């Protein structure tokens, strides 16, 4: 191994050893807000996906019926 490879491997090993997730105690209000955001974001993404499926279905139906 040359010197550059050794340094790269040691840097990767250091990052792997110290790269663990650090979790600090959050205030209860922050935890509640994060949970509420996750719920709202999941709902919004679900609605966007449903709208896309509906639009795709209507376009498919229109092409089958000769409207498009």
Q: pLDDT tens-digit profile of 45-61?
A: 999 999 999 999 999 99
Number of domains in the chain: 1
> Would 14 be classed as within a structural domain?
no
Structural domain contains residue 49: yes
Q: Does residue 52 belong to any structural domain of this protein?
A: yes
Residue 26 domain flag: no
* 12 falls within a domain: no
**Please, which residues have CB within 8 angstroms of residue 1's CB and are 6 or more apart in sequence?**
9
Domain of residue 54: give its range: 31-67
The span from the CA of 66 to the CA of 68, in Å, is 5
pLDDT of residue 17: 73
What's the pLDDT score for residue 62? 96
Q: What is the pLDDT of residues 9-48, one digit of tens each?
A: 888 887 777 766 667 788 999 999 999 999 999 999 999 9
Q: Is residue 10 part of a domain?
A: no
For residue 46, is it within any domain? yes
Is 5 domain-assigned?
Answer: no
């Amino acid at each position: 191994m040359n010197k550059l490879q050794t340094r790269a491997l040691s840097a990767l090993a250091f990052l792997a050893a110290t790269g663990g997730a650090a979790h600090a105690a959050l205030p209860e209000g922050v935890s509640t807000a994060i949970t509420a955001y996750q719920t709202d974001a999941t709902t919004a993404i679900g609605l966007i996906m449903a709208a896309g499926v509906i639009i795709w279905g209507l376009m498919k139906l229109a092409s089958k019926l000769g409207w498009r």
